[in-house]
Amino acid sequence: MNRTALVTGAAGFIASHLSEKLLQEGYHVIGIDNFDSFYNPAIKHQNVERLRSIGKQNFEFLEMDLRNTSDFQGLPKKVDIVFHLAGKAGVRPSIEAPSEYIDTNVSGTQNVLDWMKNIACDKLIFASSSSIYGNNKKVPFSEADEVNAPISPYAFTKRSNELQIHTFHHLYDPNAICLRFFTVYGPRQRPDLAIRKFVTRIKNGEPIDQYGDGSSGRDYTFISDIINGVYSAANYLFEHENVYEIINLGSHSPILLKEMIETIGVTLNTTPKVNILPLQPGDVEVTYADISKAKELLNYEPKVSFQQGINNFVKWFNNH
C-alpha cells in the first residue's frame, strides 16, 4: 500500500493506536500533535517513541498546533486521507474554559479543512463524540436523533465540527465520515478518564469518587474495536464517492457506574473504597449506541466484552 495518512493528535490515546494500526497495514503515517498539557506530555512522548520504533521510515512526526495556520506550511503537499482526532477533550474541563475548546476544536478544525482544500485532499475521518446526544431520553442513540441540546461546551464544539464538515462537503465535495465514539477505554488510556483513574487509586489503596447513586451508564467501547471501526471507515471512503456520513462507534451495551466499579474491584481482587458525591454539571445520565448503521456500512462488530476489556487494561497497567 502506498497511501499516506495524516493523523492529528497522533500522540494521544486513540490516535496513537490508530497510527499503529495504519503502520501495520502499510500506510505512510504523518503524525502531528502539540503535546497539550491537559495531561502529562511525557505520556504522549512515549506514544510517539513507540510509533517511531514500529514505523521506522514510514512514520514522520511534527510538533505543531492546529490553531496556528503558519504551522501547516511544514506539512506535505500530498496526503491521501486525514484522520482528524486532535482537539481539547473532557466534558467537565470544558465548562471551566469554554473559549479554549471553541478555539481549539472549532477554529483548529477549520484550519484543517482549509489546508485539505489547499492541497486537494478529499478524504476525511473525524473523531466526534457520543456527548453530542446530551440527555436524550430515547435509547439507544441513533444518528437520526435530534441533537440540538448538548449540555457541555465540549459537546457543542463536537456538534459544531460535524456541521463544519458537512458545509465543507457541500461546498467542495470531499468524502467525509464523522464517527461518534462512545467512551473508549483500554491500554494507554488518558489518566483523567474514569477506568484508569479508578484502577490507579484502588491499587494505591485510595478511595474513588462516585458521582451520583451509581445508576448512570456508559457504553464502554474497547480501543481495538474502535480502531477496527475507524479503519473500516477509511476503507469505505476509498471505495465510495460523494460520502458524508455520521456513524456511531460503540459497544451497544451500557455498563452502570456501580457495575463498572464492581468489575474493577473483582479484577483487582479488592473491595474499592467509594466516596459518593453529587452528580456533576455536564454529565449525561447514559450513553447507549445504536450501531446498526456501523454494521451496515462498515461491517462493524465489537468483539471485546467489558470484563475482557478490563482484564486487558489491568494487565497493561500492571506492566506500565
- Residues taking part in catalysis: 154
List the end-to-end C-alpha distance of the chain, in Å, as a whole number: 33
**Number of residues that make up the chain:** 320
Residues facing 7 on adjacent strands: 31, 83
The residue whose grid cell reads 504523518 is 30
Q: What gap in Å lies between CA 28 and CA 55, rounded to an integer?
A: 8
Tell me the H-state helices in 152-283. 153-172, 194-203, 223-239, 257-267
**How is residue 222 written as a grid cell?**
474497547
Q: Residue 59: which of 117, 11, 120 has the closest Cα?
A: 11
CB 247 within 8 A of CB 212: no
φ/ψ (deg, to 5) at 271: -100, 115
